Amino acid sequence: MFCYQCQETSKNQACTLRGVCGKTEDVAALQDLLLYVTTGLSFYGVRARALGVTDPEADLFVAEALFSTVTNVNFDAQRFTRLIGRALVLRDGLRARFLAAYQARHGQPFAEALPGAATWRPQTGSLEELVAHGQVVGIMADPQLPEDIRSLRSLLTYGLKGLAAYTDHAYVLEHRKDELLAFLQEALAMTADDSATVDDLVQMNLRCGEMGVQAMALLDEANTSNYGTPEPTQVSLGVRPGPAILVSGHDLRDLDELLQQTAGKGINVYTHGEMLPANAYPGLKKYKHLVGNYGNAWWRQREEFEAFGGAILMTTNCLVEPKESYRDRIFTTGLVGWPGVQHIGDRLRGGQKDFSPVIAKALALGSPKALEEGTLTIGFAHDTVLSVADKVIAAIQSGAVKRFVVMAGCDGRHKERNYFTELARRLPQDTIILTAGCAKYRYNKLGLGEIGGIPRVLDAGQCNDSYSLVVVALKLAEALGAKSVNDLPIDYAIGWYEQKAVLVLLALLSLGVQGIRLGPSLPAFVSPNVLQVLVDKFGIKPTTTVEQDLAEIVGA
């Protein structure tokens, strides 16, 4: 096992025995094998597309396969075995169609050398065989591979996983942009191309960021067209008596269907973690039994799920190994999985998922235990902020607002993440924090007040809503006559944990954003030379101490 895709990887080097996330050695090997076979599928996908041959099922599968390997999504070896089997069937079907098209076009067989990922087949398909092969095709498969090539391939792979996640979210809501799926294959195929140079990989990483901006825009359109534009909303943090379901993750369609199926049944539905922003969408907040948010960021779920006492539904990533005390009342759906945890199957075409097992469990249980009281103000996506742009601009021009700090991304367990709490607490009163993602749980309950009626913490939503922060920055630059976002009084302090945050970082870099602080530690997969390129070209720097970074922010 060798895995270093998340911020909490062991000793900031790699997990080699068991993932800090809870991933076993066998599951790690199966994830590596799924990525390997999917890369082979992508090899044929790129070449077949050039001949006018496409396979929509295979195209979407690449996104689903990548998403399933994102940190804290799927821990179930049997489900990975099925995914690998499906990948092989799709790969070989596309291979046959490509070879036939090539023969017809050129009058001779395809003679280009094939990578192992495009030809390998299991002998028996047993779990043991798949695990054994997965152990030899992972990140360190070629010990002679130059460090910088390995680093850039890894950076690209993890960016693609984030891109796949956002793209899949949009496709679930039936918003499509097939160029995104085509790019996933093109870029993934490059990670197995030994002729690709450092410069090739740098450029492909930046293209990944550009596609990330498009994917986040597509998902933004999908969410708002289905559920309306988020609006400023006071969200309750308390509990109500009665049966309850807690929904975590990111999938708004899952929440919507659950709300429809629980209407009139006397069940209160609460959001958790990254699902908090759902409370600001008119199409979801219309359900009176969506009663508020319970708890905090993903990493505190073991204590919070235990205290909740009701049924729990995990819709996307952020799953932590469930305690025995609540394992019989937690459910997974979509790409999420844990061995032995009941799974809600996919929706049939034109239908809904069947959440009746979750509902039945909730009705058999009691009321949740209160964790806290009060409210949170959310709902400041780009349309909301831009609707009061005149007030924001006036506040800047009058000096009431002197600086914005983008504090977005992921939260996590490391005590070093208190940096973000203390930075937010100590920023001057003339500073507005723009946030998205679960990083906000480090400071969104500090009561930082307002500036002329504008909350000092403007919560744009989920991690994918980092797009809103980009839109706001670009529009402010335009309104203020700035040449670029780098000429605005904006600083960036980004917390990262998993691969969607990597994609957000690449998206910001593709837009030319300079001077991003990244913490609480720099990615283990970024080599010293690659880091130097990022420093020289984009001014990326690690977070240091609150005192030092605050002095630079205030003095800038």
Average pLDDT over the chain, rounded to whole?
96
Residues with Cβ within 8 Å of residue 384, at least 6 apart in sequence: 229, 230, 231, 232
pLDDT of residue 479: 87
pLDDT of residue 556: 57
Residue 484 in 3-state DSSP? coil
- Go through the domains of the chain in sequence order and give each one's CATH number: 10-225 (1.20.1270.20), 233-363 (3.40.50.2030), 384-555 (3.40.50.2030)
CA dist 79 → 22, 34, 86 (Å): 16, 11, 11
Distance between CA atoms of residues 163 and 208, nearest Å: 8
Which two tokens mark 519? 């913490």
Starting at the earlier edge strand, list the strands of the sheet with 457-459. Answer: 457-459, 431-435, 403-406, 490-495, 516-519, 541-542
CA dist 368 → 42, 264, 268 (Å): 47, 19, 10
Query: Do residues 363 and 243 make contact, with C-beta atoms less than 8 angstroms apart?
Result: yes
Closest CA to 273 of 291, 295, 241, 256: 295
504-556 per-position pLDDT tens digit: 999 999 999 999 999 999 999 999 999 999 999 999 999 999 999 999 999 85
Query: Do residues 386 and 475 make contact, with C-beta atoms less than 8 angstroms apart?
Result: yes
CA dist 326 → 29, 72, 238, 312, 372 (Å): 28, 18, 21, 9, 21
Distance between CA atoms of residues 511 and 206, nearest Å: 9
Angle between helices 466-479 and 389-398 (to 10 degrees): 60
Phi-psi region of 68 (alpha: psi -120 to 50; beta: other; left: phi over 0): alpha
State which residues of the chain have pLDDT below 70.
556
pLDDT of residue 243: 98
Distance between CA atoms of residues 491 and 486, nearest Å: 9
Distance between CA atoms of residues 68 and 77, nearest Å: 12
Alpha helices for 399-498 (secondary structure H): 418-426, 466-479
Residue 492 in 3-state DSSP? strand
Distance between CA atoms of residues 109 and 134, nearest Å: 30
Residue 440 in 3-state DSSP? helix
pLDDT of residue 389: 85
Distance between CA atoms of residues 80 and 58, nearest Å: 16
CA dist 5 → 2, 72, 326, 386, 472 (Å): 10, 11, 28, 35, 30
Distance between CA atoms of residues 45 and 30, nearest Å: 22
Q: Please tell me the pTM assigned to this model.
A: 0.97
CA dist 366 → 74, 266, 274, 324, 358 (Å): 29, 12, 24, 18, 14
